[in-house]
Amino acid sequence: MYKIYSVFYICKIARMINKLIIKLRRRRVLTSCVVLVILCGYIVLQTPLSPDLYFIHWNSLEDISCHYIDLDNTLPRAESEEFQPPSRSIFFHETSCKGYLDSRQACAVESAARAHPGWQINVLFAAPVHKNSLKNGSLSVLRNFTNIRLSRVHITNYAKRTPLESMVSGGALNRTRWRISHTSDVLRYLSLYKFGGVYLDLDVVVAKALDPLVRNWAARETDTAVAAGALAFSRDELGRSVAEAAIRDIKSNYRGDNWGNNGPGVITRILKKYCSTSNLSQMSAATCNGFEVYGPQFFYPVVYWKGFEYFEPGEIKLEDTAYIFHVWNKLTSDLPVHKDSPYAKLARKYCPTVYNLYGKDFLLPVRKKP
């Protein structure tokens, strides 16, 4: 009887081992398939115009295919030899595929042009701009300002003969969750690297001319970050040095999985090295080899988590101090504008043409406008 049980258990153990071997074989096959899929995905991700396989947001995948086409565009090319902006230039970049400026973006451009009549205000579109957009809406009135120049940027050509040429042509800006934002990050540093001047975000209101400021500057947003929404790199030795450091940083540290890494992250990292300190409040022209780091009161008088205050009835402190008001469009574009809000008052004062063009529609949320 003992021998019979022994044989029984031996057979049972043998069957278990056999099943385990079969499972292991299946797992090896499955593992091989997974490895193959990953390998194929990696190969696809190295090609230009690759899909956003890393960080897809199924409900809000940003389409930037317009950056690589030239259909229905009527604007001159910013990468042509004819595009030679003067040293006193301000650059705005529109990197969505809509091919026009909404009311708040147009307000930013008009306010910059009014504050700087002797400067060239460059609005560079990453998308084609159709001739109808120039005849209607905000572009039709902005074209009447003699110091505003509208141009089209083909980003792959714009990056040629710069340290970012291979990164851009290799499709890095398609391998990110924030394609529009990260394209803007790269373009702002490219423009300052190529031409020098001032870069401004399109969600600002310019209240005063920037002429009294030093030639090379940035501004702290908080005690932990130098912002990239307003930057000035001149064509002098200092400006060239900082611009080149920024381009090298993007090339070495570009990441598609971190929203701020390629914008404020760039200027913050290079200034920590340039100023030999990680304490942002200690950064100034005296400690940064002549590069000035202004306090937030001059460019970011309202911190981003209080951005809603621009759109509610009330007043904004430091209005006499600030050169620029940044209204944090990423967080506030779905908010309506109260007619007695700080933003409405700023718009009536500093971009009256655009404000009057839109009328009551100026008070609507940008995302809900017809």
Mean local confidence (pLDDT), 61-71? 86
pLDDT tens string 52-63: 444 444 345 688
What is the rounded CA–CA span in Å between residue 347 and residue 105?
11
Hey, which CATH number is domain 65-368, 3.30.420.60, 3.90.550.10, 3.40.50.11140, 3.30.360.10?
3.90.550.10
pLDDT at 30: 58
Q: Is the per-residue pLDDT at 45 higher than 60?
A: no
pLDDT tens string 302-319: 999 999 999 999 998 777
Contact of 236 with 216, CB cutoff 8 Å:
yes
**Quick one: pLDDT band at residue 105, thresholds 50, 70, 90?**
very high
Mean local confidence (pLDDT), 319-341? 94
**Quick one: pLDDT band at residue 240, thresholds 50, 70, 90?**
very high
Q: Is the per-residue pLDDT at 12 higher than 90?
A: no
pLDDT at 49: 42
pLDDT at 72: 83
Integer CA distances (angstroms), 69 to 79, 127, 129, 212, 222, in order: 15, 8, 11, 40, 39
Q: Which of 22-26, 255-259, 323-327 has the highest mean pLDDT?
A: 323-327
Lookup: tokens for 94: 């529109």
pLDDT tens string 131-157: 999 999 999 999 999 999 999 999 999
Mean local confidence (pLDDT), 185-204? 98
pTM assigned to the model: 0.84
Please state, rounded to an integer, the average pLDDT across all residues of the chain: 88
Bridge partners, 89 (sequence order) = 120
Q: Is the per-residue pLDDT at 117 higher than 60?
A: yes
